[in-house]
Amino acid sequence: MKGYTPPPRFTLPTEPLPITRSITITEGTSVKDLAEKLEIRAKDLIAGLLAKGVFATINQTLDADLASEMARFFGADTNVISYEDQAAKEMEADQETTESTVGEITRPPVVTIMGHVDHGKTTLLDAIRATNVAEGEAGGITQHIGAYKVKVVDPESPAFGREIVFLDTPGHQAFTRMRARGAKVTDIVVLVVAADDGVMPQTLEAIDHANAAEVPIIVAVNKIDKPDALPDRVKKQLADRGLMPESWGGTTVFVDVSAKKQTNLNLMMELICLTADLRELKAVPTRPASGVVLEAKLDRGRGPVATVLVQNGTLRAADNFVVGNVFGKVRAMFDDRGRQLELAGPSTPVEIIGLESLPQAGDQFVVVADRDKARSISEYREQRAREMALAQSSRVSLEGLADQIKTASLKELAVILKGDMQGSVEVLKDMLSKIATDKVRLKLIHGGVGAITETDVLLASASNAIIIGFNVRPERKAQELAEQEKVDIRLHSIIYELQDEIKRAMSGLLEPTFKETYLGRAEVRNVFKVPKAGTIAGCFVQDGLVRRDAEVRLMRNGAQIFKGKVGSLKRFKDDASEVRNGNECGISIANYGDIKVGDVIEFFSTEVIAAEVIA
């Protein structure tokens, strides 16, 4: 045609082009997406891949390394981010192009109730639920989904009609497990303390978990209807722990309640709303939904079912989504009363059906435009998860502390401390608080009495902390979880050795250490006094194996009683070199005879680990 000038034809470069720009790509990006970002034709990108020996179609997913390599070949540097981060950036960009407050609303706060066992957490939850159900429809809640939304029902309250979401989690273990997976679910923690019982070990543990998550605490002093209730004693005990009541000039909100008599429940809800207002909790209901999985289960009739808390945007029936490594489509969703919903706004807990497989609690949930994109992100994450499982953990440990100090990547060493007695714990807390160098300081996340539990390991995992045990040992399941989560546990019985090890580690001068390798444990079921042979323990091997050449540790009620070597190991009447899990045996400990029924004998070996030298 006369006057027509054909567009310049793109020619595939034979050598990489100079880097002239930077592009951002998401995990699981496709050939088509990358070509659009690079502003080239998809077939030219496919040709470039083919030149590298990679056969790809236009909709095929590329892993991050290959996508980055191809982008550099076409003259672009890359920044790879998660799909959730990309969605958040797009929302921020949308808000910047319009007014920042357009479409933004105040969302209901999400509250977790924590506290010591038997202090009335469940009764309080039931009382709140009962008042709300009485106000709402008859028949009450027909379906328990781990979270529920309630309204303030007192017309005289300033918060009348406001909504609050309560998470019905089984205590701080679930709370911390979700935080360990990166889920920021809770806006406010309500700490329940019984007025007749006062502050207990789990109360202190709950405070430490809430503080580690940087969540505000409202203290509900429960059971004030009891004749021996002493709410002021609770305030004094908590004030000593850093929770100073507002009425005493502090910043912590306290409210006296009775779950049994339903006293001051609306006042507590009002204070929750007031605390939420100070936090300015906002959401944009017009955007695609994002949130977090609270729990998931496999239902025989419905397949994989997940309870999801929508944190931002609006979730609609038939939306495609990605949750962790799983993708799906919302076939149906139900609220906490079992009613089917077509849409769910911010701070709404819903049960959804339509997942391809089972996600994990704490997984991030995000709506995706089309199903193919959801599948590609899911497949990419599954592959990455497999790679990460094979890769080394980046958890902090005392051996690796020197390297991290050297690269200035660690300014603070988080510590969880467990001891055999309260006095020991207090002395160690005081000693550790005074240890600091010019490069790193210690931060005590939690201190308590008793064996190292799964909860301690989960808190360490969430806070990237190390655990120090003084005259105590980890429970068997806690030990397994620590190995799985790559949490460093240090066990000591002499205060000065512990102090010296921490100081040397923080100075980057950690000397060679002895690393323990756990072998197994046996429970003492009978004790026999044998002339000339001493005390023989009739044992059952509970876990692993027990060996004649191993070192042993005698444990009683979670605390170490003695550490030494095996005197003899017999299977029936014969000497044995080792006895495996599920078998009975006779064990004597060299130069020690104070063994009792119910004691546990732990077997371990030690090896010397060379120190890392800093130039």
What tens digit of pLDDT does each residue of 500-540 get? 777 766 665 444 556 778 889 999 999 988 887 788 999 99
For residue 601, what pLDDT band results from cuts at 50, 70 and 90?
very high
| Predicted confidence (pLDDT) at residue 543 exceeds the cutoff of 50 | yes
Q: Which residue has the higher pLDDT, 554 or 118?
A: 554
For residue 150, what pLDDT band results from cuts at 50, 70 and 90?
confident
What is the residue-wise DSSP string for 286-350? TSBPEEEEEEEEEETTTEEEEEEEEEESBEETT-EEEETTEEEEEEEEE-TTS-EESEE-TTEEE
Q: In what order do the strands lie in the sheet with 489-492?
A: 441-449, 412-419, 466-470, 489-492
| Predicted confidence (pLDDT) at residue 414 exceeds the cutoff of 50 | yes
For residue 62, what pLDDT band results from cuts at 50, 70 and 90?
confident
Q: Over pLDDT 70: what percentage of the chain?
A: 80
pLDDT at 42: 83
Q: Which residue has the higher pLDDT, 219 or 136?
A: 219
Identity (one letter) of the amino acid at 455? T
| Predicted confidence (pLDDT) at residue 100 exceeds the cutoff of 50 | no
Q: Please state which of the ranges 235-249, 472-486, 510-524, 597-611 shows the lowest mean pLDDT.
A: 510-524
User: d(Cα 345, Cα 609) in Å, to the nearest integer?
Assistant: 55
pLDDT at 138: 38
What is the residue-wise DSSP string for 213-268? TT--EEEEEE-TTSTT--HHHHHHHHHHTT--BGGGTSSBEEEE-BTTTTBSHHHH
With left for phi above 0 and alpha for psi between -120 and 50, is residue 324 left, alpha or beta? left
Other CB atoms within a 10 A radius of the CB of residue 293 amount to 26
User: What residue spans define the domains of the chain?
Assistant: 21-81, 108-280, 290-390, 398-511, 516-609
Average pLDDT over residues 308-336: 89
Distances (CA, A) of 132 to 135, 163, 309, 602: 5, 11, 20, 52
Identity (one letter) of the amino acid at 24? T
Q: Is the Cβ–Cβ distance between 241 and 446 less than 8 Å?
A: no
Largest CA distance in the chain: 116
| Predicted confidence (pLDDT) at residue 261 exceeds the cutoff of 50 | yes
Place of tokens 């509970």: 542
| Predicted confidence (pLDDT) at residue 124 exceeds the cutoff of 70 | yes
- Quick check: helix, strand or coil at residue 92? helix
pLDDT at 184: 77
pLDDT at 314: 92
Q: Please state which of the ranges 165-169, 191-195, 310-314, 449-453 shows the lowest mean pLDDT.
A: 165-169
The CATH architecture one would assign to domain 21-81 is Orthogonal Bundle (1.10)
CA 525 distance to own-chain centroid: 37
pLDDT at 603: 92
Domain 516-609 classification at class level: mainly beta
Q: Is the Cβ–Cβ distance between 12 and 45 less than 8 Å?
A: no
pLDDT at 411: 63
Q: Which residues contact 106 (CB under 8 A, 6 or more apart)?
A: 277, 280, 281, 282
Q: Which residues contact 53 (CB under 8 A, 6 or more apart)?
A: none
pLDDT at 181: 60
Average pLDDT over residues 234-241: 89
Place of tokens 């709140």: 128
User: d(Cα 448, Cα 427) in Å, to the nearest integer?
Assistant: 12
Q: Is the Cβ–Cβ distance between 437 and 504 less than 8 Å?
A: no
Average pLDDT over residues 379-407: 58
Average pLDDT over residues 137-162: 66
Quickly name the fold that domain 290-390 has: Elongation Factor Tu (Ef-tu); domain 3 (2.40.30)
Q: Is the Cβ–Cβ distance between 522 and 585 less than 8 Å?
A: yes
Element (H, E) at 351: strand 348-355
pLDDT at 611: 47
The CATH architecture one would assign to domain 108-280 is 3-Layer(aba) Sandwich (3.40)
User: d(Cα 252, Cα 436) in Å, to the nearest integer?
Assistant: 29
Q: Is the Cβ–Cβ distance between 131 and 185 less than 8 Å?
A: no
Tell me whether the CATH fold assigned to 290-390 matches the one assigned to 516-609: yes
- Which residues are 463's β-sheet partners? none
With left for phi above 0 and alpha for psi between -120 and 50, is residue 427 left, alpha or beta? alpha
Distances (CA, A) of 432 to 198, 445, 511: 27, 12, 19
DSSP state of 576: -
pLDDT at 585: 93
Average pLDDT over residues 68-96: 69
pLDDT at 136: 42
pLDDT in tens, 422-476: 777 878 887 877 776 666 677 888 888 888 988 888 888 888 888 999 888 888 8
Torsion 236-240-243-244 (CA) sign: positive
Q: Please state which of the ranges 102-116, 148-162, 196-210, 545-559 shows the lowest mean pLDDT.
A: 148-162
Average pLDDT over residues 325-352: 89
pLDDT at 227: 83
Query: Residue 171: which of 151, 154, 192 has the closest Cα?
Result: 192
pLDDT mean across residues, the chain: 79
| Predicted confidence (pLDDT) at residue 188 exceeds the cutoff of 50 | yes
Q: Where are the beta strands (DSSP E) in 434-480?
A: 441-449, 466-470
Q: Which residue has the higher pLDDT, 398 or 523?
A: 523
Number of H helices, E strands in the chain: 15, 31
Query: Residue 395: which of 321, 462, 327 has the closest Cα?
Result: 462
For residue 388, what pLDDT band results from cuts at 50, 70 and 90?
low
Q: Please state which of the ranges 333-342, 392-401, 495-504, 569-578 shows the lowest mean pLDDT.
A: 392-401
Average pLDDT over residues 189-194: 90
With residues binned 3-state (H G I as helix, E B as strand, rest as coil), the percentages for the chain, rounded to 5, are 30, 35, 35
- Which residues are 245's β-sheet partners? 252
- For 398-511, CATH number? 3.40.50.10050
Q: Which structure tokens are listed for 491? A: 């066990």
| Predicted confidence (pLDDT) at residue 405 exceeds the cutoff of 60 | no
Q: Is the Cβ–Cβ distance between 110 and 197 less than 8 Å?
A: no
Average pLDDT over residues 367-380: 79
| Predicted confidence (pLDDT) at residue 410 exceeds the cutoff of 70 | no
Give the chain's radius of gyration (CA, Å): 29
For residue 217, what pLDDT band results from cuts at 50, 70 and 90?
very high
Q: Which residue has the higher pLDDT, 411 or 484?
A: 484
Q: What is the pTM of this model?
A: 0.61
Q: Over pLDDT 90: what percentage of the chain?
A: 14
User: d(Cα 162, Cα 151) in Å, to the nearest integer?
Assistant: 6
pLDDT at 48: 82
| Predicted confidence (pLDDT) at residue 137 exceeds the cutoff of 50 | no
